[in-house]
Structure 1
Amino acid sequence: MKIKVLRHMLVDSNITPSRPGAVVDVDDDIAKELIAQGTAEAASGAKKGDDATDEKAAPAPANKKAPDPKTRVPDMPILALDMVKSHLRVTWPNEDQLIGLYLAAAEGSAASFLNRKVYPDQDALEAAVLAETAGDDPMVVNPEIQAAVLLTVGHLYMNREDTIVGATVAELPRGALALLQPYRVGLGV
């Protein structure tokens, strides 16, 4: 049965995210349940492919496609977009570009704080050294740096403005900077 998606949801056992306005073809029992929940409506004669919002136009689920170069940091791709979306508990694809921007900013911020380039694996590090682009004191990413990047992306995603009104806010004592501090180099003085 064809249904029109009214809000973000998972439409099948493969956990395919669907965006509002998409027309998708699902099992009749699932369609009836989604319509009863108010997350979809019958597509009343719509044929798959007729509508510009057809699910075919949506990107494939993140776990089935190669990373989009727009959502990765070319110099320091230390985290996959899928992992970041999992951390943020985001299952829909329409925020991939925004999350990719936050990921790039978080990875760049971590590298700037560390005063060194960070590479995803030893092969990438060795290639950069051979190409003489590794800079001073390059390193391979570790779980602490990855966690710091995830914390920073989470902060950027949840706090999309410079200010918060009507809320008491406190920085957690073991935040991103505490995770990065042991690996920082070139402090000067």
Structure 2
Amino acid sequence: MSVIDIELAMKHLLAEPEDKDLVQSQLDGAEMAAVAYLNRAFFVDQAALDSARASVPAARNQARVAYDTSMVLAAAIEDRFQSCEAMADAQFVFSEALTAATRNARGMVINKAIEAACLLKLGHLFANREEVVTGTIATELPQSSKALLAPYRIGMGV
């Protein structure tokens, strides 16, 4: 579920009511892209942020338990190649779980700059529904969504 209200997104795009499902899907994608770029999650209000942060220790503990269990099972596999592959898979899943928990731990309440960046990305997704555009010249605007997100970015992100 999006942090940004779907009605605001619809107004931003001047979209028709029948486009609401498409807009919601693209809004979710725009927000996910922003979270990946920022390397942190954002939330609708302080209560949602506090709730997400409170869940971090349990999420990390659950990830550790699942990792330990997976490693024990992987070590029991007789074929060395399959055992190593199972260990690598366990490490990947563990890393992804820790990354998700860390994004919540370093989360923030959404602000107008992040909202604007997501709406810019949404506008691009809505206007350009295909990967290839023929017969036009596309130019990225100097005040793009990345410029709006950059001050809130932690680490390298995506």
Q: Partner residue of 1:148?
A: 117
Sequence identity, in percent? 38
Residue 129 of structure 1 and its aligned partner are, at CA, apart by: 1.3
Q: Partner residue of 2:14?
A: 89
Q: Partner residue of 1:184?
A: 153
Mapping for residues 2-151 of structure 1, pairs under 5 Å: 73=1, 77-90=2-15, 92-132=16-56, 135-151=104-120
Supply the distance in 1 between the matched residues of 2:129 and 2:155 (Cα, whole angstroms).
Answer: 32
Q: Confirm or deny that 1:157 pairs with 2:126.
A: yes
Q: Partner residue of 2:139?
A: 170
Residue 168 of structure 1 and its aligned partner are, at CA, apart by: 1.3
Residue 187 of structure 1 and its aligned partner are, at CA, apart by: 2.5
Residue 78 of structure 1 and its aligned partner are, at CA, apart by: 1.9
Residue 93 of structure 1 and its aligned partner are, at CA, apart by: 2.0
Higher strand share: 1
Supply the distance in 2 between the matched residues of 1:93 and 1:82 (Cα, whole angstroms).
Answer: 10
RMSD of the alignment, in Å?
1.5
Residue 185 of structure 1 and its aligned partner are, at CA, apart by: 0.2
Q: Where does structure 1 differ by over 6 angstroms across 4 or more consecutive aligned residues? A: none
Supply the distance in 2 between the matched residues of 1:135 and 1:143 (Cα, whole angstroms).
Answer: 19
Where do 5+ consecutive residues of structure 1 fail to align?
A: 1-72
Q: Which amino acid aligns with 1:146?
A: E
Bigger RCO of structures 1 and 2 (CA < 8 A, at least 6 apart): 2
Supply the distance in 2 between the matched residues of 1:82 and 1:172 (Cα, whole angstroms).
Answer: 25
Residue 95 of structure 1 and its aligned partner are, at CA, apart by: 1.0
Higher helix share: 2
> What secondary structure, in the 3-state scheme, does the structure 1 residue paired with 2:130 have?
coil
TM-score using structure 2 length: 0.67
Where do 5+ consecutive residues of structure 2 fail to align?
A: 57-100
How many equivalent pairs are there?
A: 112
TM-score using structure 1 length: 0.56
Residue 152 of structure 1 and its aligned partner are, at CA, apart by: 0.4
